[in-house]
Amino acid sequence: MFLRPIHIIPHDTDIDFVARRWWAFSVTIVLVLVTIIALFVKGLNLGIDFKGGILIEAKAPQAIDVGALRSELFSLNLGEVELQQFGSPDDVLIRIQRQQGDEVAQMKAVQSVRDKLGTKYDYRRVEVVGPTVGAELLHAGILATVLAMVMISIYVAWRFEWQFGLAALIATVHDVFTTVGLYAVLHLDFNLTAVAALLTLAGYSINDTVVVFDRIRETLRRQKATDLRSIINASVNQTLSRTIMTAGTTLLALLPLVFMGGETLINFSAALTWGIFVGTYSSIYVAAALLLYMPPLRRMDTVKK
């Protein structure tokens, strides 16, 4: 007995997405403008990874209560403090913002942490990240994000046609850039975790876009006489159920992290949640509609398989 596929959108759905593209483009322009203004006015709240600071890796004699430990370290008045558990429940990574002054001031802050935690902790690593190293990490993070988007678009252009690759690049840049705007508007810490969120978002966004593009390509082969506008509408409607189900199931996993993940995960989970909404919207309204403003697509049987 075969399982029947789930369709949350009726098969006969016929929404004219192309006719609404100007509304979608208007929303896109507003989001981009808000992002640009936020970046110029507020800027990014760079985390310790990019500004430089103190890094302490420690092991406790028992499982760590992160909330209680964070409160203890905040009482030292050392500025921004980030805690991250890794490995086992008794391992913790402590990040403290760079202190005013020279290396003596940094080591004094390290000693304050040691005195607060006591001798029961095993301090496995203590590093002071300078602003130069932080700037290099920021440059590397930006470069990694840009290269990821470009290489994904090159693959799409090779796998389909160059018009698809260009549209995918514009849509992915739109999704990633507006997510950066979220960090600026909400003044969330922008650190290496944020870069990981952007890279994850780029992969998620292009995945949805490729599904729509693949259906457009198949329809182009079968309906050589149909105008591109009708083909785009039909393809987006046919993949709409899959797009919404993918976004919905992903959100089911992310929303608990947003509301119960605490301060450690909010930068990652909030950015991905926003990115799913923006990525789904751009896959439906933006990416495919951009094909209308590019040179005609091939419709022969020689289209790449």
Q: What is the pLDDT, as a whole number, of residue 60? A: 80
d(CA 133, CA 50): 8
Q: What is the pLDDT, as a whole number, of residue 34? A: 92
Question: Is CATH 2.60.40.3880 what the domain over 53-129 is classified as, yes or no?
Answer: no
CATH topology of domain 18-45+134-293: Multidrug efflux transporter AcrB transmembrane fold (1.20.1640)
Residue type, 182: L
Task: Please spell the DSSP secondary structure of 141-209, one letter per residue.
Answer: HHHHHHHHHHHHHHHHHHHS-HHHHHHHHHHHHHHHHHHHHHHHHHT-EESHHHHHHHHHHHHHHHHHH
Q: What is the pLDDT, as a whole number, of residue 134? A: 66
Q: What is the pLDDT, as a whole number, of residue 30? A: 92
Q: CB–CB of 113/76 below 8 Å?
A: yes
Q: What is the pLDDT, as a whole number, of residue 35? A: 92
Residues contacting residue 12 through CB under 8 Å, at least 6 positions apart: none
Q: What is the pLDDT, as a whole number, of residue 83? A: 78
Average pLDDT per consecutive 10 residues, the chain (305 residues; last block may be shorter) = 56 73 87 92 79 79 80 79 74 79 78 80 77 72 82 81 83 89 86 84 83 83 77 82 82 81 74 87 83 68 42
The closest alpha carbon to 179, from 249, 267, 111, 240, belongs to 267
For the chain, give every domain's residue range. Answer: 18-45+134-293, 53-129
pTM: 0.75
Residues contacting residue 107 through CB under 8 Å, at least 6 positions apart: 128
User: What SS3 class is residue 12?
Assistant: coil
The pLDDT tens digits of the residues spanning 93-136 come to 888 877 777 777 778 888 888 888 777 888 887 777 766 666 77
| Distance set, CA 299 to CA 154, 160, 171, 233, 304 (Å) | 21, 12, 23, 17, 11
Q: What is the pLDDT, as a whole number, of residue 2? A: 47
